[in-house]
Amino acid sequence: MDLYFQRLRGGLVYLFLITAAFLSIFPFLWMVLGATNTSADISRGKFGLGGALFDNIVSFLAFADVPLILWNSLKIALLTTLFTLAVASIAGYGFEIFRSRLRDRLYRVLLLTLMIPFAALMIPLFIMMGKLHLINTHWAVILPSIGSAFIIFYFRQSTKAFPLELRDAARVDGLKEWQIFLLIYVPVMRSTYAAAFVIVFMTAWNNYLWPLIVLQSNDTKTITLVVSSIASAYYPDYGAVMVSAILATLPTLIVFFLMQRQFVQGMLGSVK
Amino acid sequence: MRTRHSMDKASPRLNRYFDVNGWLFVAPAVLLIAVFMVYPILYSLWMSFQTGRGMKMHFDLTANILRLFSDPMLGLALYNTMIFFIVQVPVMLILALLLATMLDDKRVRFRGLIRTAIFLPCVSSLVAYSVLFKSMFVQDGLVNTTLLDLGLISSPIPWMTDPFWSRVLIIIAITWRWTGYNMIFYLAALQNIDKSIHEAARIDGVPAYGRFFFLTVPMLKPVILFTTVTSTIGTLQLFDEVRNIMTSDAGGAAGPSNSALTLSVYIYNLTFKFMPNFGYAATVSYVIVIAVALLSLLQFYALRERT
């Protein structure tokens, strides 16, 4: 009897888990199959392979300058990531290695900025960008994202695991402080950089609200904006929407599967 | 801790050298945050006491604040946020916790595979998944035809045109996107729990649900609090989903009779959709600032009590 109940419970657990896993994957499957179907078929809820893939690609290519849009997204995401990692890791290292009461206080103020919701920044930032003549440039998207208190926090936390013997030995050998950072800290902390890379890249690639405000001309738009605008037509061409969604999702999926461990580690970094 | 920092015992000249280096290392980040976070948030505070249209503004201490209390749209946005908070956050977190406890069991086969699958939604871009949901939930679309075929409903559910169902749709969508994310936090916390306590309780005859409620849940309290607060803050800032599932170019409304209007969408509309009123929009944005600050304080004190 007891064994019977145990089996039943085991079965229910599997049923629950498999249902959850299936529902989680399903929209991805729907997206891939949808890219092969006509808009009418998608709106009718047809679930299966169709023959309209080529037409959908053609109609998406007609909707936007796709190579340029993808290049814009990639450029913004990579530059944001590069600058954020550089600035945040230098700061995280600085706050942890050169301790002073004043800097610790400043660090606490920096952490407070984590609480600022973006909605409260977007109006003043928009006015600032207007005054700097940066509207419709990619710098308007990149500049405000570089100073990330969260990534500074992440690097400072990780620096606590950096062996100080390395630093002291380097000092004895006469290395300057910036040389210690560049030649010893950076190579030693590779995996921290990898995790931060994944987080910043994904955030930058998926960013929507701020680019929506500052990138108004068609030649500066990102793939996220194009997905949104092609889908917001009164009668959207869902086939082309699916193709655009695949292009918007693929890079982050690839990064995820290549760096799954760092990805999860990076996400958990915030509760250590 | 003091021994970790050799600068404490170094000579004054060396101390100065390290101090200068310290400032140089943190300077770029501090400057950027000062220019793009601190200055705008103060600017926004100043703006919230300005009223007028476009660039013609004048100072008025109370006009915007008084307007907050007689603004039905703001009331609606707060009401929607509360609904998402009261319904969506608990449903998602309970689901995440259940999944995490099941996947923590070493006897379950294909754990890695199932975990990856459930985690996959958090990799998708918010806009992309929103348009996917939009395409699945159209009137004669996949979800309605499937439910009709299964005989679960007798007529199609008006997901996009009925205020109640449009909220349900937003809740389903957010739950899909964020359950796996929260699950990962619970899984990580569960793996740090000492399994021998569970083992002892099991031998003493405590049933599985008893161990779940009286051992697992109390031990996960800090993580549960953390995920509750971050989810609530996320709800306050909800934008991408509402705009991409509910809004079409034809009109600026967020769902049927603005049933999915959130604070962020409202601020966006006030600033960029209607006749721009930067002053009042800034005041509304401070409603979010204050809500987020209160929530973060709550989390801070609740967690500090424990350590």
Q: What is the pLDDT of residues B12-39, one digit of tens each?
A: 888 888 888 889 999 999 999 999 999 9
**In this structure, are B181 and B267 located in the same domain?**
yes
Tell me whether residues A17 and B37 touch, CB distance under 8 A.
Answer: no
In a domain, B55, yes or no: no
**Average pLDDT, rounded, for chain A:** 89
Average pLDDT estimate for B77-83: 88
| Residue A157: per-residue pLDDT | 87
In a domain, B66, yes or no: no
CB-CB contact of B297 with B305 (8 Å): no
Please report residues of A whose CB lies closer than 8 A to that of B26: 90-91, 94-95, 103, 106
CA distance A56 to chain B (A): 15
| Residue A267: per-residue pLDDT | 66
List own/partner pairs for A177-181 with CB under 8 A and 24 or more apart. Answer: A177/B18, A177/B21, A177/B25, A178/B21, A181/A90, A181/A93, A181/B25
CA distance A14 to chain B (A): 8
Average pLDDT estimate for A71-84: 96
Band (pLDDT 50/70/90 cuts) for residue A158 is confident
CATH (domain of B81): 1.10.3720.10
> pLDDT per residue over B197-247, tens digit each?
878 888 888 887 888 888 888 888 888 888 888 888 888 888 999 889 886
CA distance A124 to chain B (A): 5
CB contacts < 8 A, A to B, total 283
Rounded to 5°, the CA angle B117-A190-B5 comes to 125
Average pLDDT estimate for A15-24: 94
Nearest to B126 among A21, A43, A206 (CB): A206
Q: Is the Cβ of B118 closer than 8 Å to some Cβ of chain A?
A: yes
| Residue B307: per-residue pLDDT | 47
In a domain, B134, yes or no: yes
**In this structure, are B115 and B231 located in the same domain?**
yes
Q: Percent of chain A at pLDDT above 90?
A: 56
Q: Is the pLDDT of residue B55 over 60?
A: yes
Average pLDDT estimate for B170-183: 94
Nearest to B288 among A20, A120, A231 (CB): A120
In a domain, B58, yes or no: no
Q: Is the pLDDT of residue B1 over 70?
A: no
Reported ipTM exceeds the 0.90 cut: no
CA distance B152 to chain A (A): 17
In a domain, B260, yes or no: yes
In a domain, B60, yes or no: no
Which class for B51: exposed (0-12), middle (13-18), buried (19 or more C-beta within 10 A)?
buried
Band (pLDDT 50/70/90 cuts) for residue B6 is very low
Tell me whether residues A117 and B185 touch, CB distance under 8 A.
Answer: no
CB-CB contact of B245 with B134 (8 Å): yes
Residue type, A215: L
> pLDDT per residue over B107-122, tens digit each?
888 888 999 999 999 8
Tell me whether residues B185 and A268 touch, CB distance under 8 A.
Answer: yes
**In this structure, are B277 and B207 located in the same domain?**
yes
In a domain, B22, yes or no: yes
Please report residues of A whose CB lies closer than 8 A to that of B125: 205-206, 208, 224, 227, 248-249, 252
| Residue B215: per-residue pLDDT | 82
Q: Is the pLDDT of residue B127 over 90?
A: yes
- SS3 letters across chain B: CHHHCHHHHCCHHHHHHHHHHHHHHHHHHHHHHHHHHHHHHHHHHHHCCEEEECCEEEECCCHHHHHHHCCHHHHHHHHHHHHHHHHHHHHHHHHHHHHHHHHHCCCCCCHHHHHHHHHHHHHCCHHHHHHHHHHHCCCCCHHHHHHHHCCCCCCCCCCCCCHHHHHHHHHHHHHHHHHHHHHHHHHHHHHCCCHHHHHHHHHCCCCHHHHHHHHHHHHCHHHHHHHHHHHHHHHHCCCHHHHHHHCCCCCCCCCHHHCCCCHHHHHHHHHHHCCCCHHHHHHHHHHHHHHHHHHHHHHHHHHHHHC
| Residue A61: per-residue pLDDT | 93
Average pLDDT estimate for B126-136: 93
**In this structure, are B244 and B116 located in the same domain?**
yes
* A163, two tokens: 């062996």
User: Domain range spanning residue B275?
Assistant: 71-306
**Average pLDDT, rounded, for chain B:** 85
In a domain, B61, yes or no: no
Average pLDDT estimate for A1-8: 69
**In this structure, are B155 and B32 located in the same domain?**
no
CA distance A81 to chain B (A): 14
**In this structure, are B116 and B38 located in the same domain?**
no
**In this structure, are B117 and B165 located in the same domain?**
yes
Please report residues of A whose CB lies closer than 8 A to that of B134: 231
- Number of domains chain B contains: 2
**In this structure, are B226 and B280 located in the same domain?**
yes
> pLDDT per residue over A202-221, tens digit each?
999 999 999 999 999 999 99
Q: Is the Cβ of B262 closer than 8 Å to some Cβ of chain A?
A: no
Domains in chain A and their CATH numbers? 65-271 (1.10.3720.10)
**What are φ and ψ of residue B53, in 5° steps?**
-110, 140
**In this structure, are B15 and B87 located in the same domain?**
no
**In this structure, are B153 and B201 located in the same domain?**
yes
| Residue A81: per-residue pLDDT | 96
| Residue B250: per-residue pLDDT | 44
Angstrom CA distances, A159 to A89, B24, B148, stand at 9, 17, 56
**In this structure, are B35 and B174 located in the same domain?**
no
Q: Where are the alpha helices (DSSP H) in chain A?
A: 2-34, 39-43, 53-63, 66-97, 101-112, 119-131, 138-146, 149-159, 164-172, 177-179, 186-188, 190-206, 209-214, 223-231, 238-258, 260-268
Sign of the dihedral defined by the CA atoms of residues B209, B212, B218, B221, in that order: negative
What is the C-alpha separation between A217 and B52, in angstroms, rounded?
Answer: 28
